[in-house]
Structure 1
Amino acid sequence: MSIIQSIILAIIEGLTEFLPISSTGHMVLTSSILGIENDKFTKLFEICIQLGAILAVVALYWKKFFDFSKWQFYVKLMLAVVPALIFGKLFDDLIDEHLGNPAFIATVLLLGGIILLFVDNWFKKPIFDEEADITNITAIKIGAYQCLAIMFPGLSRSAATIIGGMQQKLTRSLAAEFSFFLAVPTMAAATGYKLLKFIKEEGAITSEQVKLLAVGNIVAFFVAVLAIKFFISILNKYGFKYFGIYRIIVGLTILGLLATGHTLSVV
Protein backbone atom coordinates (compact mmCIF):
# COMPACT_ATOMS: atom_id res chain seq x y z
CA MET A 1 0.00 0.00 0.00
CA SER A 2 1.35 3.42 -0.99
CA ILE A 3 0.82 6.76 0.74
CA ILE A 4 -1.54 7.86 -2.03
CA GLN A 5 -3.59 4.69 -1.68
CA SER A 6 -3.76 5.14 2.10
CA ILE A 7 -5.01 8.72 1.66
CA ILE A 8 -7.69 7.63 -0.82
CA LEU A 9 -8.91 4.93 1.57
CA ALA A 10 -8.89 7.41 4.46
CA ILE A 11 -10.98 9.90 2.48
CA ILE A 12 -13.48 7.15 1.69
CA GLU A 13 -13.55 6.19 5.37
CA GLY A 14 -14.04 9.75 6.59
CA LEU A 15 -16.85 10.36 4.11
CA THR A 16 -18.73 7.13 4.76
CA GLU A 17 -18.19 6.20 8.43
CA PHE A 18 -21.22 8.14 9.68
CA LEU A 19 -23.38 7.75 6.59
CA PRO A 20 -25.65 4.67 6.50
CA ILE A 21 -23.88 3.33 3.41
CA SER A 22 -21.12 1.18 5.00
CA SER A 23 -17.62 2.56 5.36
CA THR A 24 -16.12 -0.94 5.57
CA GLY A 25 -17.86 -2.01 2.39
CA HIS A 26 -16.67 1.07 0.52
CA MET A 27 -13.09 0.69 1.73
CA VAL A 28 -12.91 -3.00 0.82
CA LEU A 29 -14.31 -2.33 -2.64
CA THR A 30 -11.98 0.66 -3.09
CA SER A 31 -9.03 -1.53 -2.09
CA SER A 32 -10.13 -4.02 -4.73
CA ILE A 33 -10.39 -1.37 -7.45
CA LEU A 34 -6.99 0.09 -6.53
CA GLY A 35 -5.41 -3.37 -6.56
CA ILE A 36 -4.27 -3.19 -2.96
CA GLU A 37 -3.18 -6.60 -1.71
CA ASN A 38 -5.65 -8.16 0.70
CA ASP A 39 -3.02 -8.98 3.31
CA LYS A 40 -3.13 -8.73 7.09
CA PHE A 41 -1.92 -5.14 7.13
CA THR A 42 -4.63 -4.00 4.71
CA LYS A 43 -7.28 -5.50 6.98
CA LEU A 44 -5.62 -3.84 9.97
CA PHE A 45 -5.50 -0.51 8.15
CA GLU A 46 -9.18 -0.64 7.20
CA ILE A 47 -10.14 -1.16 10.84
CA CYS A 48 -7.67 1.22 12.47
CA ILE A 49 -8.42 4.29 10.38
CA GLN A 50 -12.05 3.99 11.42
CA LEU A 51 -10.84 5.08 14.86
CA GLY A 52 -9.47 8.30 13.34
CA ALA A 53 -12.88 9.05 11.85
CA ILE A 54 -14.63 8.15 15.10
CA LEU A 55 -12.46 10.58 17.06
CA ALA A 56 -14.11 13.35 15.04
CA VAL A 57 -17.12 12.71 17.29
CA VAL A 58 -15.02 13.45 20.36
CA ALA A 59 -13.78 16.67 18.79
CA LEU A 60 -17.22 17.90 17.74
CA TYR A 61 -19.07 16.82 20.88
CA TRP A 62 -16.25 17.19 23.39
CA LYS A 63 -18.30 19.17 25.92
CA LYS A 64 -20.90 16.44 26.14
CA PHE A 65 -18.47 13.56 25.76
CA PHE A 66 -16.33 14.77 28.66
CA ASP A 67 -19.14 15.81 30.97
CA PHE A 68 -18.08 13.54 33.84
CA SER A 69 -20.94 14.74 36.02
CA LYS A 70 -23.22 12.50 33.95
CA TRP A 71 -21.47 9.21 34.69
CA GLN A 72 -24.56 7.23 33.69
CA PHE A 73 -23.79 8.18 30.08
CA TYR A 74 -20.50 6.23 30.19
CA VAL A 75 -22.20 3.24 31.79
CA LYS A 76 -24.67 3.12 28.92
CA LEU A 77 -21.88 3.24 26.34
CA MET A 78 -19.97 0.44 28.06
CA LEU A 79 -23.08 -1.73 28.25
CA ALA A 80 -23.96 -1.02 24.63
CA VAL A 81 -20.52 -2.03 23.36
CA VAL A 82 -20.49 -5.44 25.11
CA PRO A 83 -22.57 -7.38 22.51
CA ALA A 84 -20.28 -6.27 19.67
CA LEU A 85 -17.12 -7.15 21.61
CA ILE A 86 -18.36 -10.66 22.30
CA PHE A 87 -19.74 -11.19 18.81
CA GLY A 88 -16.66 -9.78 17.10
CA LYS A 89 -14.35 -12.06 19.08
CA LEU A 90 -16.41 -15.19 18.39
CA PHE A 91 -16.75 -14.62 14.64
CA ASP A 92 -13.50 -12.80 13.81
CA ASP A 93 -12.35 -15.29 11.15
CA LEU A 94 -15.75 -15.48 9.46
CA ILE A 95 -15.92 -11.69 9.32
CA ASP A 96 -12.50 -11.49 7.64
CA GLU A 97 -13.67 -14.05 5.07
CA HIS A 98 -16.71 -11.93 4.16
CA LEU A 99 -14.54 -8.80 3.91
CA GLY A 100 -12.79 -10.29 0.89
CA ASN A 101 -15.99 -11.01 -1.05
CA PRO A 102 -17.23 -8.05 -3.17
CA ALA A 103 -20.34 -9.96 -4.27
CA PHE A 104 -21.37 -10.50 -0.66
CA ILE A 105 -20.77 -6.84 0.21
CA ALA A 106 -22.66 -5.64 -2.87
CA THR A 107 -25.63 -7.86 -2.00
CA VAL A 108 -25.73 -6.49 1.54
CA LEU A 109 -25.48 -2.93 0.20
CA LEU A 110 -28.44 -3.62 -2.11
CA LEU A 111 -30.67 -5.28 0.48
CA GLY A 112 -29.78 -2.68 3.10
CA GLY A 113 -30.70 0.05 0.64
CA ILE A 114 -34.13 -1.45 0.11
CA ILE A 115 -34.66 -1.47 3.88
CA LEU A 116 -33.68 2.19 4.15
CA LEU A 117 -36.42 3.13 1.70
CA PHE A 118 -39.02 2.13 4.28
CA VAL A 119 -37.35 2.87 7.62
CA ASP A 120 -38.77 6.38 8.01
CA ASN A 121 -42.31 5.02 7.64
CA TRP A 122 -41.72 2.30 10.21
CA PHE A 123 -40.79 4.61 13.07
CA LYS A 124 -43.00 7.68 12.78
CA LYS A 125 -43.84 8.18 16.44
CA PRO A 126 -40.66 8.55 18.52
CA ILE A 127 -41.04 9.16 22.23
CA PHE A 128 -37.55 9.92 23.52
CA ASP A 129 -35.43 12.90 22.50
CA GLU A 130 -32.98 13.26 25.42
CA GLU A 131 -29.98 11.11 26.28
CA ALA A 132 -31.30 10.73 29.85
CA ASP A 133 -34.31 8.87 28.39
CA ILE A 134 -32.06 6.01 27.24
CA THR A 135 -32.11 3.26 29.86
CA ASN A 136 -29.36 0.69 30.37
CA ILE A 137 -31.53 -2.01 28.78
CA THR A 138 -32.24 0.21 25.80
CA ALA A 139 -28.51 0.87 25.39
CA ILE A 140 -27.79 -2.87 25.33
CA LYS A 141 -30.52 -3.44 22.74
CA ILE A 142 -29.10 -0.69 20.51
CA GLY A 143 -25.62 -2.14 20.96
CA ALA A 144 -26.89 -5.54 19.85
CA TYR A 145 -27.73 -4.04 16.46
CA GLN A 146 -23.99 -3.53 15.92
CA CYS A 147 -23.64 -7.30 15.73
CA LEU A 148 -25.61 -7.26 12.47
CA ALA A 149 -23.12 -4.81 10.94
CA ILE A 150 -20.20 -6.91 12.18
CA MET A 151 -21.59 -10.10 10.67
CA PHE A 152 -22.63 -8.50 7.38
CA PRO A 153 -19.94 -6.17 5.95
CA GLY A 154 -21.74 -3.66 3.77
CA LEU A 155 -24.67 -3.25 6.16
CA SER A 156 -23.26 -0.15 7.95
CA ARG A 157 -22.67 0.13 11.67
CA SER A 158 -24.21 3.59 11.81
CA ALA A 159 -27.33 2.48 9.90
CA ALA A 160 -27.79 -0.54 12.16
CA THR A 161 -27.44 1.36 15.42
CA ILE A 162 -29.50 4.37 14.32
CA ILE A 163 -32.30 2.07 13.20
CA GLY A 164 -31.89 0.18 16.47
CA GLY A 165 -32.32 3.44 18.35
CA MET A 166 -35.37 4.41 16.35
CA GLN A 167 -36.86 0.96 17.00
CA GLN A 168 -36.47 1.79 20.69
CA LYS A 169 -38.57 4.96 20.16
CA LEU A 170 -35.66 7.42 19.99
CA THR A 171 -35.90 10.38 17.63
CA ARG A 172 -33.69 10.22 14.53
CA SER A 173 -31.36 12.90 15.88
CA LEU A 174 -30.97 11.24 19.30
CA ALA A 175 -30.49 7.81 17.70
CA ALA A 176 -27.78 9.25 15.42
CA GLU A 177 -26.03 11.01 18.29
CA PHE A 178 -25.98 7.88 20.45
CA SER A 179 -24.73 5.89 17.46
CA PHE A 180 -21.85 8.36 17.09
CA PHE A 181 -20.91 8.12 20.76
CA LEU A 182 -21.19 4.33 20.77
CA ALA A 183 -18.73 4.15 17.89
CA VAL A 184 -15.92 5.56 20.07
CA PRO A 185 -15.49 2.63 22.52
CA THR A 186 -16.45 0.13 19.82
CA MET A 187 -13.76 1.21 17.37
CA ALA A 188 -11.19 1.84 20.10
CA ALA A 189 -11.64 -1.77 21.22
CA ALA A 190 -11.62 -3.11 17.65
CA THR A 191 -8.46 -1.14 16.80
CA GLY A 192 -6.65 -2.29 19.92
CA TYR A 193 -7.63 -5.93 19.35
CA LYS A 194 -6.64 -5.93 15.66
CA LEU A 195 -3.34 -4.16 16.39
CA LEU A 196 -2.35 -6.59 19.14
CA LYS A 197 -3.37 -9.55 16.97
CA PHE A 198 -1.32 -8.22 14.05
CA ILE A 199 1.79 -7.70 16.20
CA LYS A 200 1.40 -11.16 17.75
CA GLU A 201 1.14 -12.84 14.34
CA GLU A 202 3.69 -10.72 12.47
CA GLY A 203 6.13 -10.12 15.31
CA ALA A 204 6.20 -6.34 14.89
CA ILE A 205 4.81 -3.41 12.95
CA THR A 206 7.23 -1.60 10.63
CA SER A 207 7.93 2.12 10.59
CA GLU A 208 6.41 2.35 7.10
CA GLN A 209 3.22 0.72 8.34
CA VAL A 210 3.09 3.11 11.31
CA LYS A 211 3.40 6.03 8.87
CA LEU A 212 0.55 4.72 6.72
CA LEU A 213 -1.67 4.27 9.79
CA ALA A 214 -0.83 7.77 11.06
CA VAL A 215 -1.57 9.41 7.70
CA GLY A 216 -4.77 7.41 7.29
CA ASN A 217 -6.10 8.32 10.73
CA ILE A 218 -5.33 12.02 10.34
CA VAL A 219 -7.00 12.27 6.93
CA ALA A 220 -10.00 10.25 8.07
CA PHE A 221 -10.40 12.50 11.12
CA PHE A 222 -10.62 15.78 9.23
CA VAL A 223 -12.85 14.41 6.46
CA ALA A 224 -15.18 12.88 9.07
CA VAL A 225 -15.61 16.23 10.84
CA LEU A 226 -17.20 17.60 7.68
CA ALA A 227 -19.18 14.42 6.98
CA ILE A 228 -20.83 14.39 10.42
CA LYS A 229 -22.25 17.89 9.96
CA PHE A 230 -23.48 16.98 6.48
CA PHE A 231 -25.11 13.74 7.64
CA ILE A 232 -27.05 15.27 10.53
CA SER A 233 -28.52 17.98 8.33
CA ILE A 234 -29.53 15.52 5.59
CA LEU A 235 -30.91 12.98 8.05
CA ASN A 236 -33.07 15.52 9.84
CA LYS A 237 -34.37 17.02 6.61
CA TYR A 238 -34.81 14.01 4.32
CA GLY A 239 -34.45 10.85 6.43
CA PHE A 240 -32.93 7.65 5.04
CA LYS A 241 -34.57 7.51 1.60
CA TYR A 242 -31.78 9.01 -0.50
CA PHE A 243 -29.13 6.95 1.26
CA GLY A 244 -31.21 3.89 0.41
CA ILE A 245 -31.36 4.86 -3.26
CA TYR A 246 -27.58 5.37 -3.31
CA ARG A 247 -26.96 1.94 -1.77
CA ILE A 248 -29.23 0.25 -4.30
CA ILE A 249 -27.44 1.93 -7.23
CA VAL A 250 -24.00 1.00 -5.90
CA GLY A 251 -25.03 -2.57 -5.07
CA LEU A 252 -26.62 -3.16 -8.47
CA THR A 253 -23.65 -1.60 -10.27
CA ILE A 254 -21.16 -3.86 -8.52
CA LEU A 255 -23.26 -6.97 -9.06
CA GLY A 256 -23.69 -6.00 -12.70
CA LEU A 257 -19.94 -5.59 -13.18
CA LEU A 258 -19.26 -8.94 -11.55
CA ALA A 259 -21.95 -10.63 -13.65
CA THR A 260 -20.40 -9.30 -16.89
CA GLY A 261 -16.97 -10.67 -16.06
CA HIS A 262 -15.30 -7.65 -14.49
CA THR A 263 -12.87 -8.55 -11.72
CA LEU A 264 -13.38 -6.76 -8.42
CA SER A 265 -12.09 -9.49 -6.16
CA VAL A 266 -9.28 -8.37 -3.90
CA VAL A 267 -5.89 -9.55 -5.13
Structure 2
Amino acid sequence: MDVMLWVKAALMGIVEGLTEFLPVSSTGHLILAGSLLGFTDAKAKVFDIAIQTGAIFAVILVYWQKIRTTVVGLPSQPLARRFSANVVIGVLPAIVLGLLLGATIKAHLFTPDVVATALIVGGLIILWAEKRAPVAARIEHTDDMSTWDALKVGLAQCVALIPGMSRSGATIIGGMLMGLSRRAATDFSFYLAIPTLIGAGVYSLWKERALLSVEDAPMFVIGLVFSFASAWICVRWLLRYVASHSFVPFAWYRIAFGIVVLAAWPNA
Protein backbone atom coordinates (compact mmCIF):
# COMPACT_ATOMS: atom_id res chain seq x y z
CA MET A 1 0.00 0.00 0.00
CA ASP A 2 1.52 3.29 -1.16
CA VAL A 3 -0.46 5.95 0.70
CA MET A 4 1.58 8.83 -0.74
CA LEU A 5 0.85 7.62 -4.26
CA TRP A 6 -2.85 7.57 -3.43
CA VAL A 7 -2.63 11.12 -2.08
CA LYS A 8 -0.94 12.22 -5.29
CA ALA A 9 -3.66 10.48 -7.31
CA ALA A 10 -6.35 12.32 -5.32
CA LEU A 11 -4.64 15.68 -5.79
CA MET A 12 -4.21 15.08 -9.52
CA GLY A 13 -7.88 14.09 -9.74
CA ILE A 14 -8.94 17.33 -8.09
CA VAL A 15 -6.73 19.37 -10.43
CA GLU A 16 -8.21 17.55 -13.43
CA GLY A 17 -11.81 18.02 -12.33
CA LEU A 18 -11.43 21.70 -11.49
CA THR A 19 -9.60 22.66 -14.67
CA GLU A 20 -10.97 20.36 -17.41
CA PHE A 21 -13.93 22.55 -18.29
CA LEU A 22 -12.56 25.97 -17.43
CA PRO A 23 -10.62 27.82 -20.17
CA VAL A 24 -7.35 27.42 -18.27
CA SER A 25 -5.99 24.10 -19.66
CA SER A 26 -6.35 20.97 -17.57
CA THR A 27 -3.46 19.32 -19.41
CA GLY A 28 -1.20 22.23 -18.60
CA HIS A 29 -2.16 22.18 -14.92
CA LEU A 30 -1.70 18.40 -14.74
CA ILE A 31 1.78 18.66 -16.26
CA LEU A 32 2.75 21.35 -13.76
CA ALA A 33 1.13 19.58 -10.81
CA GLY A 34 2.76 16.30 -11.82
CA SER A 35 6.15 17.98 -11.96
CA LEU A 36 5.67 19.45 -8.48
CA LEU A 37 4.53 16.09 -7.06
CA GLY A 38 7.21 14.05 -8.81
CA PHE A 39 4.49 12.24 -10.76
CA THR A 40 5.98 12.35 -14.25
CA ASP A 41 6.81 8.84 -15.46
CA ALA A 42 5.16 7.07 -18.41
CA LYS A 43 2.48 5.57 -16.17
CA ALA A 44 1.63 9.03 -14.84
CA LYS A 45 0.99 10.29 -18.37
CA VAL A 46 -1.49 7.46 -18.93
CA PHE A 47 -3.10 8.31 -15.58
CA ASP A 48 -3.48 11.99 -16.56
CA ILE A 49 -5.46 11.03 -19.65
CA ALA A 50 -7.47 8.24 -18.05
CA ILE A 51 -8.83 10.34 -15.17
CA GLN A 52 -10.43 12.70 -17.68
CA THR A 53 -13.11 10.03 -17.90
CA GLY A 54 -14.11 10.80 -14.31
CA ALA A 55 -14.66 14.44 -15.23
CA ILE A 56 -16.73 13.38 -18.24
CA PHE A 57 -19.05 11.30 -16.04
CA ALA A 58 -19.82 14.55 -14.22
CA VAL A 59 -20.80 16.21 -17.52
CA ILE A 60 -22.97 13.23 -18.43
CA LEU A 61 -24.74 13.56 -15.08
CA VAL A 62 -25.33 17.30 -15.48
CA TYR A 63 -26.57 16.93 -19.08
CA TRP A 64 -28.30 13.59 -18.62
CA GLN A 65 -31.75 14.83 -19.67
CA LYS A 66 -30.46 16.20 -23.00
CA ILE A 67 -28.36 13.08 -23.65
CA ARG A 68 -31.26 10.75 -22.85
CA THR A 69 -33.70 12.74 -25.02
CA THR A 70 -31.25 12.68 -27.93
CA VAL A 71 -30.56 8.95 -27.72
CA VAL A 72 -34.25 8.06 -27.43
CA GLY A 73 -35.14 10.38 -30.30
CA LEU A 74 -32.51 9.15 -32.77
CA PRO A 75 -34.84 6.71 -34.61
CA SER A 76 -37.64 9.23 -35.18
CA GLN A 77 -36.62 12.83 -34.49
CA PRO A 78 -34.65 14.82 -37.12
CA LEU A 79 -33.50 17.29 -34.47
CA ALA A 80 -31.90 14.50 -32.40
CA ARG A 81 -30.16 13.10 -35.49
CA ARG A 82 -28.87 16.51 -36.54
CA PHE A 83 -27.57 17.25 -33.07
CA SER A 84 -25.82 13.87 -32.89
CA ALA A 85 -24.30 14.39 -36.33
CA ASN A 86 -23.02 17.82 -35.29
CA VAL A 87 -21.29 16.32 -32.25
CA VAL A 88 -19.64 13.64 -34.42
CA ILE A 89 -18.54 16.25 -36.97
CA GLY A 90 -17.19 18.48 -34.21
CA VAL A 91 -15.13 15.65 -32.74
CA LEU A 92 -13.58 14.30 -35.95
CA PRO A 93 -10.89 16.98 -36.61
CA ALA A 94 -9.30 16.53 -33.17
CA ILE A 95 -9.41 12.73 -33.50
CA VAL A 96 -7.67 12.79 -36.87
CA LEU A 97 -4.98 15.26 -35.83
CA GLY A 98 -4.56 13.56 -32.46
CA LEU A 99 -3.88 10.21 -34.10
CA LEU A 100 -1.46 11.78 -36.57
CA LEU A 101 0.43 14.06 -34.19
CA GLY A 102 -0.28 12.73 -30.70
CA ALA A 103 3.01 10.89 -30.21
CA THR A 104 5.05 13.85 -31.45
CA ILE A 105 3.18 16.28 -29.22
CA LYS A 106 3.67 14.10 -26.13
CA ALA A 107 7.36 13.68 -26.89
CA HIS A 108 8.19 17.35 -27.44
CA LEU A 109 5.49 19.67 -26.04
CA PHE A 110 4.58 18.23 -22.63
CA THR A 111 6.98 20.53 -20.76
CA PRO A 112 6.46 23.39 -18.26
CA ASP A 113 7.93 26.03 -20.57
CA VAL A 114 5.62 25.11 -23.46
CA VAL A 115 2.63 25.02 -21.11
CA ALA A 116 3.49 28.42 -19.61
CA THR A 117 3.89 30.02 -23.04
CA ALA A 118 0.61 28.51 -24.23
CA LEU A 119 -1.16 29.76 -21.10
CA ILE A 120 -0.02 33.32 -21.80
CA VAL A 121 -0.83 33.20 -25.51
CA GLY A 122 -4.23 31.66 -24.81
CA GLY A 123 -4.97 34.36 -22.25
CA LEU A 124 -4.19 37.08 -24.76
CA ILE A 125 -6.45 35.37 -27.31
CA ILE A 126 -9.33 35.28 -24.80
CA LEU A 127 -8.90 39.01 -24.09
CA TRP A 128 -8.93 39.75 -27.81
CA ALA A 129 -11.91 37.47 -28.43
CA GLU A 130 -13.99 38.98 -25.63
CA LYS A 131 -13.55 42.42 -27.22
CA ARG A 132 -14.28 41.13 -30.71
CA ALA A 133 -17.22 38.78 -29.99
CA PRO A 134 -20.53 40.15 -31.35
CA VAL A 135 -22.98 41.59 -28.85
CA ALA A 136 -25.91 39.78 -30.47
CA ALA A 137 -25.26 36.06 -30.98
CA ARG A 138 -26.36 34.37 -34.20
CA ILE A 139 -27.02 31.05 -32.44
CA GLU A 140 -28.65 30.94 -29.02
CA HIS A 141 -29.01 27.17 -28.65
CA THR A 142 -26.94 24.19 -29.76
CA ASP A 143 -29.97 22.76 -31.59
CA ASP A 144 -29.76 25.72 -33.98
CA MET A 145 -26.21 24.92 -35.11
CA SER A 146 -25.53 23.89 -38.70
CA THR A 147 -23.07 21.26 -39.87
CA TRP A 148 -20.67 24.04 -40.84
CA ASP A 149 -20.92 25.60 -37.37
CA ALA A 150 -20.08 22.25 -35.77
CA LEU A 151 -17.11 21.72 -38.07
CA LYS A 152 -15.69 25.17 -37.32
CA VAL A 153 -15.90 24.59 -33.58
CA GLY A 154 -14.31 21.17 -34.11
CA LEU A 155 -11.42 22.78 -35.98
CA ALA A 156 -11.00 25.27 -33.14
CA GLN A 157 -10.77 22.35 -30.73
CA CYS A 158 -7.64 21.16 -32.56
CA VAL A 159 -5.72 24.13 -31.13
CA ALA A 160 -5.99 22.42 -27.74
CA LEU A 161 -3.66 19.65 -28.89
CA ILE A 162 -0.95 22.07 -27.77
CA PRO A 163 -0.71 21.53 -23.99
CA GLY A 164 -1.60 24.71 -22.17
CA MET A 165 -4.02 26.04 -24.78
CA SER A 166 -7.18 24.45 -23.24
CA ARG A 167 -9.75 22.33 -25.04
CA SER A 168 -12.68 24.08 -23.39
CA GLY A 169 -11.13 27.49 -24.01
CA ALA A 170 -10.58 26.76 -27.70
CA THR A 171 -14.12 25.47 -28.25
CA ILE A 172 -15.95 28.06 -26.14
CA ILE A 173 -14.03 31.10 -27.41
CA GLY A 174 -13.99 29.69 -30.95
CA GLY A 175 -17.73 29.14 -30.81
CA MET A 176 -18.37 32.67 -29.55
CA LEU A 177 -16.27 34.15 -32.37
CA MET A 178 -18.32 32.14 -34.85
CA GLY A 179 -21.63 33.53 -33.59
CA LEU A 180 -22.67 31.18 -30.80
CA SER A 181 -24.00 32.67 -27.60
CA ARG A 182 -21.82 32.26 -24.53
CA ARG A 183 -24.15 29.55 -23.15
CA ALA A 184 -24.48 27.71 -26.50
CA ALA A 185 -20.70 27.70 -26.97
CA THR A 186 -20.22 26.38 -23.42
CA ASP A 187 -22.87 23.68 -23.85
CA PHE A 188 -21.43 22.50 -27.18
CA SER A 189 -17.95 22.43 -25.66
CA PHE A 190 -19.25 20.05 -22.99
CA TYR A 191 -21.02 17.86 -25.55
CA LEU A 192 -17.82 17.58 -27.62
CA ALA A 193 -15.89 16.69 -24.48
CA ILE A 194 -17.90 13.51 -23.88
CA PRO A 195 -16.74 11.46 -26.91
CA THR A 196 -13.39 13.26 -27.19
CA LEU A 197 -12.17 12.59 -23.66
CA ILE A 198 -13.73 9.16 -23.23
CA GLY A 199 -12.13 8.11 -26.53
CA ALA A 200 -8.77 9.55 -25.51
CA GLY A 201 -8.89 7.79 -22.14
CA VAL A 202 -9.83 4.38 -23.56
CA TYR A 203 -7.28 4.67 -26.37
CA SER A 204 -4.49 5.65 -23.98
CA LEU A 205 -5.27 2.80 -21.58
CA TRP A 206 -5.36 0.28 -24.41
CA LYS A 207 -2.22 1.55 -26.10
CA GLU A 208 -0.19 1.64 -22.88
CA ARG A 209 -1.75 -1.44 -21.25
CA ALA A 210 1.67 -3.11 -20.97
CA LEU A 211 2.69 -0.43 -18.43
CA LEU A 212 -0.20 -1.17 -16.11
CA SER A 213 -0.96 -3.91 -13.61
CA VAL A 214 -3.71 -4.83 -11.16
CA GLU A 215 -1.78 -3.04 -8.41
CA ASP A 216 -2.39 0.26 -10.25
CA ALA A 217 -6.19 -0.07 -9.97
CA PRO A 218 -6.57 1.79 -6.62
CA MET A 219 -4.56 4.74 -7.93
CA PHE A 220 -6.78 5.04 -11.02
CA VAL A 221 -9.99 4.59 -9.06
CA ILE A 222 -9.00 7.33 -6.59
CA GLY A 223 -8.09 9.67 -9.44
CA LEU A 224 -11.40 9.00 -11.22
CA VAL A 225 -13.49 9.55 -8.08
CA PHE A 226 -11.85 12.84 -7.15
CA SER A 227 -11.92 13.99 -10.77
CA PHE A 228 -15.65 13.25 -10.97
CA ALA A 229 -16.51 15.02 -7.71
CA SER A 230 -14.53 18.18 -8.41
CA ALA A 231 -15.71 18.34 -12.04
CA TRP A 232 -19.36 18.02 -10.99
CA ILE A 233 -18.97 21.03 -8.71
CA CYS A 234 -17.06 22.98 -11.36
CA VAL A 235 -19.47 22.32 -14.25
CA ARG A 236 -22.51 23.37 -12.25
CA TRP A 237 -20.72 26.54 -11.15
CA LEU A 238 -19.52 27.38 -14.67
CA LEU A 239 -23.00 27.10 -16.18
CA ARG A 240 -24.25 29.65 -13.65
CA TYR A 241 -21.20 31.86 -14.19
CA VAL A 242 -21.50 32.15 -17.98
CA ALA A 243 -25.06 33.43 -17.67
CA SER A 244 -23.81 36.84 -16.61
CA HIS A 245 -20.00 36.97 -16.77
CA SER A 246 -17.24 37.08 -19.36
CA PHE A 247 -14.10 34.92 -19.50
CA VAL A 248 -11.77 37.89 -18.95
CA PRO A 249 -10.83 36.83 -15.36
CA PHE A 250 -9.68 33.45 -16.72
CA ALA A 251 -7.56 35.25 -19.31
CA TRP A 252 -5.73 37.27 -16.66
CA TYR A 253 -5.31 34.16 -14.52
CA ARG A 254 -3.71 32.35 -17.46
CA ILE A 255 -1.34 35.22 -18.17
CA ALA A 256 -0.32 35.65 -14.53
CA PHE A 257 0.11 31.92 -13.98
CA GLY A 258 2.15 31.54 -17.16
CA ILE A 259 4.47 34.39 -16.18
CA VAL A 260 5.00 32.93 -12.70
CA VAL A 261 5.87 29.54 -14.17
CA LEU A 262 8.34 31.02 -16.66
CA ALA A 263 9.98 33.06 -13.91
CA ALA A 264 10.09 30.41 -11.21
CA TRP A 265 10.28 27.01 -12.88
CA PRO A 266 13.84 25.65 -12.77
CA ASN A 267 13.93 24.34 -16.32
CA ALA A 268 11.47 26.69 -17.97
Task: Give the alignment's TM-score, normalised by structure 2.
Answer: 0.91
* 2:38 corresponds to 1:35: yes
Letter in 2 for 1:52: G
Letter in 2 for 1:34: L
Q: Is the 8 A contact 1:129 1:174 kept in 2?
A: yes
RMSD across aligned positions (CA): 1.5
Aligned partner of 1:131 in structure 2 is 142
Where do 4+ consecutive residues of structure 1 move more than 3 Å?
none
Q: Is the 8 A contact 2:126 2:173 kept in 1?
A: no
Q: Is the 8 A contact 2:113 2:267 kept in 1?
A: no
> Structure 1 vs Structure 2: percent identity of aligned residues?
37
- The structural deviation recorded for 1:263 is 4.9
Structure 2 unaligned spans of 5+:
74-79
Task: Give the alignment's TM-score, normalised by structure 1.
Answer: 0.92
**CA distance in 1: counterparts of 2:194 and 2:123, whole angstroms:** 25
Aligned partner of 1:226 in structure 2 is 233
**CA distance in 2: counterparts of 1:227 and 1:98, whole angstroms:** 30
Aligned partner of 1:60 in structure 2 is 62
SS in 2 for 1:80: helix
Out of 164, 169, 184, the position equivalent to 1:159 is 169
Q: Is the 8 A contact 1:105 1:154 kept in 2?
A: yes
**CA distance in 2: counterparts of 1:263 and 1:233, whole angstroms:** 39
SS in 1 for 2:244: helix
Structure 1 unaligned spans of 5+:
none
**CA distance in 1: counterparts of 2:29 and 2:215, whole angstroms:** 24
Aligned partner of 2:97 in structure 1 is 87
SS in 1 for 2:258: helix
- The structural deviation recorded for 1:210 is 2.0
**CA distance in 1: counterparts of 2:108 and 2:14, whole angstroms:** 23
Q: Is the 8 A contact 1:98 1:104 kept in 2?
A: no
SS in 1 for 2:23: coil
- The structural deviation recorded for 1:242 is 0.3
- The structural deviation recorded for 1:238 is 2.2
Q: Is the 8 A contact 1:98 1:153 kept in 2?
A: no
Q: Is the 8 A contact 2:62 2:236 kept in 1?
A: no
